Amino acid sequence: MGGRASGTPVLQARGLVKTYGRVVGLDGVDLELYPGEVLAIIGDNGAGKSTLIKCLTGAEVPDSGEILLDGRPTHFRRPQDARAAGIETVYQTLAVSPSLDIASNLFLGREARRSGLIGSLFRIVDTAGMRRRAREELRELGITTLQDVTVPVENLSGGQRQAVAVARAAAFGSKVVVLDEPTAALGVRESRQVLELVRTLRDRGVPVIIISHNMPHVFEIADRIHVQRLGRRAATITPQTHTMTEAVAIMTGASEG
Ligand SMILES: Nc1ncnc2c1ncn2[C@@H]1O[C@H](COP(=O)(O)OP(=O)(O)O)[C@@H](O)[C@H]1O
Ligand SMILES: [Mg+2]
């Protein structure tokens, strides 16, 4: 179960550097995600949290440093590369297609084809099958806020859209799921569902990286907490070894951890 932080990391970063012109996004950051754990990343605005997960998931290519998947060096050039390796990500800026319905959004980029000649020859999308699977996935994930999978995503609330994005990651992330601020726009009930989902994933054996500003959420859900500060890792702590106040002190540089 969670919190052991042992064995070979599923995902690891060593000395990642990423600059944007003269702006330093990442300044030699290390990170380890171990099997069976929820790793939270906390840090002030601009600390490099989003840049770090973008580098880990192919949305950005680091200037230098190493990324290892199951101990083997990898070079993701695009998010599709990371997805193909089983890493699903919900980025801070949501990527849903508003005009498509919920089911289509869940299967975006990997639409189910009808089986047999018709499917392979004409590449006909199996809408009924996709909707059935979408309903099953949502039920299995315990997501009750999305009742009708045929509703276009543009008709959903911000929280429901977020639920679609999180559900997609949860449904297809076979190795790692990464969530950047998944509860920031959500109400209390929707936030609880996302936290439950994170637990479900971990209990299914899928480690999760979650970025959050919500300290109570972080301390409730995380096995370990990576504290990001000024483009680097200031400390790795746990809810058992540190209080929220101490975590914030490390985050802001008031304490060395
Ligand atoms: N595309 C970009 N172009 C220029 N600067 C960027 C870009 N993305 C991030 N940065 C800068 O890199 C630093 C880290 O940003 P970010 O990773 O978004 O921080 P966080 O997610 O912790 O708030 C910030 O100074 C930010 O302004
Ligand atoms: Mg961010």
Q: How is the chain split into domains, by residue range? A: 11-252
Amino acid at site 4: R
The larger pLDDT score, comparing residue 91 to residue 87, is at 87
Give counts: helices (H), strands (E), the chain: 9, 10
Take residue 147 and report the two structure tokens written for it.
């009742």
The SS3 assignment for 30 reads strand
Give the pTM: 0.89
CA 215-183-161 angle, 5° bins? 175
Q: Looking at residue 192, what is its pLDDT?
A: 85
- 72 beta partners: 69
Q: Is the pLDDT of residue 79 over 60?
A: yes
CA distance 105 to 45: 30
Q: Tell me, what's the pLDDT at 2? A: 46
Cβ(45) – ligand 1 distance below 6 Å: yes
pLDDT at 82: 95
Ligand 1 centre distance from Cα of residue 119 (Å): 43
**Domain 11-252 sits in CATH 3.40.309.10:** no
C-alpha closest to that of 208 among 236, 166, 248: 166
Q: Is the pLDDT of residue 50 over 70?
A: yes
Name the residue with the closest Cα to ligand 1, atom 26.
Answer: 46
Q: Is the pLDDT of residue 123 over 70?
A: no
Q: Is the CB of 49 under 6 A from ligand 1?
A: yes
**Checking phi first, is residue 42 left (phi over 0); if not, alpha (psi -120 to 50) or beta?**
beta
pLDDT (average), residues 169-190: 85
Query: What token pair was written down for 161?
Result: 């859209």
**For the chain, what is the mean pLDDT?**
89
State mean pLDDT over 113-119: 67
Specify the pairing of strand 11-20 against strand 23-33: antiparallel
pLDDT digits (tens, 9 = 90+) for 158-175: 778 888 888 888 888 889
CA contacts within 13 A on the Cβ side of 73:
5
H or E element, residue 227: strand 224-229
9 C-alpha to ligand 2 centroid (Å)? 23
Q: Is 221 exposed, middle or buried (0-12, 13-18, 19+ CB in 10 A)?
A: buried
Say if ligand 1 is within 6 A of residue 122 CB: no
Q: What is the pLDDT of residue 121?
A: 66
pLDDT above 80: residue 89: yes
